C-alpha cells in the first residue's frame, strides 16, 4: 500500500493555480523524485504535504492520516520531516544544539519534571542526546559538532539541514533540492547519504532535484510537473524518454531521451 497518496490536489492563489489536479503515490521504502522546470509547482507540492499550505481542493493522506488540513507540527508527529531548499538553521547555535532543538516533539514530560530535572525528564533528555549522537555519526558531522553553524562551509550546512530532519525520526523525509549550490564532491557525499537513509534507516524519501543525472540514477520512480500539472510519472527510464517531459525541458518535442550527467555523482558513489 502507498505510504503517501496525493489525490487530485489543486492549490490556488487567487486566480492562479500553483497545482492543478495533481495525483501521485509514494510507496513505502522508495526514493521518489519530483522534477520539472523552475516554477512548475514542485516546492508548492512539498508545502502541501508538510502542512505549510493547505490544498484548495483534493486530499493528501499518509497511511491512515489525512494531511489535507493538518498543521506542520501535526504532520511532524505523523512521521514526516523536511529539509528546506534555503537553509533554515539557527546560525548562531552549534550543530549539536540545532539537532537537539529538533527533538522538541519527543520531550514528553511536564513542567514539574523539567524544573526538578529528575526521573523522567533526565531520562528523556539522555535518550534524546543519545539519538542525536547517532545522527551526528551517521551524517559524519563529528568534527563539526561544537562549531557554530554559521561558520561552516555551505555543503556542511546542507548536511546539518538533512541531519536535523533525520533527528525527528521520520518515516518519510522530504528533501527540497538538497544538492543545490554544491560542487561535485559534495554532491557525491549527499547522494551517498540519501541512499544510506533509504537503505540503512528504512526511510522513504521524496526528493526535488534539478540534477537529472542524480535523479535518474537513484530514484525508484519519478514524477514530472510542468506549470502545476503532472505530465508524466513512472520509472526513470520511461520518464526520461517521454516526449512531454523532453518538450517541458527543451521546448521541442523530440524522441531522444533527456541527457544525463556523465558520470553523475550517483554513478561515482556506485563505483
Q: Nearest 5°: CA angle at 185, between 180 and 190?
A: 55
pLDDT tens digits along 222-241: 999 999 999 999 999 999 88
Say how far residue 20 (Cα) sits from the centre of its chain: 22
N- to C-terminal Cα distance for the chain? 33
Instruction: Quickly count: other Cβ atoms within 10 Å of residue 242's Cβ.
Output: 20
Strand order through the sheet with 2-13: 16-27, 2-13, 57-62, 65-66
Residue 271 to residue 264: CA distance in whole angstroms: 11
pLDDT above 70 (res 256): no
pLDDT tens digits along 81-112: 999 877 778 888 999 999 988 887 766 655 55
The superfamily in CATH containing domain 2-79+170-270 is: P-loop containing nucleotide triphosphate hydrolases (3.40.50.300)
CB 90 within 8 A of CB 97: yes
Strand order through the sheet with 31-35: 80-83, 172-176, 204-208, 31-35, 221-226, 229-234
Omega of the bond leading into 95 within 30 degrees of 0 (cis): no
Residue 187 to residue 175: CA distance in whole angstroms: 14
- Name the 3-class secondary structure at 53: coil
Average pLDDT, integer, range 58-69: 94
Which candidate, 216, 217, 268, places its Cα nearest to that of 245?
216
Confidence of residue 181 (pLDDT cuts 50, 70, 90): confident
Residues of the chain with CATH 3.40.50.300: 2-79+170-270
pLDDT above 90 (res 251): no
Confidence of residue 247 (pLDDT cuts 50, 70, 90): confident
pLDDT tens digits along 6-50: 999 999 998 889 999 999 999 999 999 999 988 899 999 999 999
Q: Nearest 5°: CA angle at 197, between 193 and 200?
A: 115
Which cell numbers hold the place of 39? Answer: 516554477
Which has the minimum average pLDDT: 118-132, 156-170, 185-199, 202-216? 118-132
Average pLDDT, integer, range 182-187: 89
Average pLDDT, integer, range 203-221: 92
Amino acid at each position: 500500500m502507498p505510504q503517501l497518496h496525493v489525490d487530485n490536489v489543486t492549490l490556488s492563489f487567487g486566480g492562479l493555480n500553483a497545482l492543478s489536479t495533481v495525483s501521485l503515490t509514494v510507496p513505502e521504502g522508495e526514493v521518489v523524485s519530483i522534477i520539472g522546470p523552475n516554477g512548475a509547482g514542485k516546492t508548492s507540492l512539498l508545502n502541501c504535504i508538510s502542512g505549510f499550505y493547505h490544498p484548495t481542493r483534493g486530499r493528501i493522506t499518509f497511511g491512515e492520516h489525512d494531511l489535507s488540513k493538518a498543521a506542520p507540527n501535526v504532520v511532524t508527529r505523523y512521521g514526516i520531516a523536511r529539509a528546506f531548499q534555503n537553509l533554515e538553521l539557527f546560525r548562531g547555535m552549534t550543530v549539536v544544539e540545532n539537532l537537539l532543538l529538533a527533538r522538541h516533539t519527543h520531550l514528553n514530560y511536564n513542567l514539574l519534571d523539567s524544573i526538578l530535572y529528575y526521573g523522567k525528564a533526565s531520562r528523556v533528555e539522555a535518550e534524546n542526546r543519545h539519538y542525536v549522537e547517532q545522527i551526528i555519526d551517521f551524517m559524519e558531522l563529528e568534527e563539526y559538532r561544537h562549531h557554530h553553524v554559521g561558520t561552516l562551509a555551505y555543503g556542511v550546512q546542507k548536511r546539518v539541514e538533512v541531519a536535523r530532519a533525520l533527528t525527528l525520526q521520520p518515516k518519510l523525509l522530504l528533501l527540497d533540492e538538497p544538492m543545490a549550490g554544491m560542487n561535485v564532491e559534495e554532491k557525491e557525499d549527499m547522494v551517498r547519504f540519501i541512499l544510506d537513509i533509504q537503505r540503512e534507516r528504512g526511510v522513504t524519501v521524496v526528493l526535488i532535484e534539478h540534477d537529472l543525472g542524480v535523479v535518474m540514477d537513484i530514484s525508484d520512480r519519478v514524477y514530472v510537473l510542468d506549470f502545476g500539472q503532472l505530465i508524466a510519472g513512472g520509472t526513470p527510464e520511461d520518464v526520461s524518454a517521454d516526449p512531454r517531459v523532453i518538450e517541458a525541458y527543451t521546448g521541442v518535442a523530440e524522441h531522444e531521451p533527456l541527457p544525463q550527467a556523465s558520470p553523475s555523482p550517483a554513478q561515482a558513489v556506485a563505483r
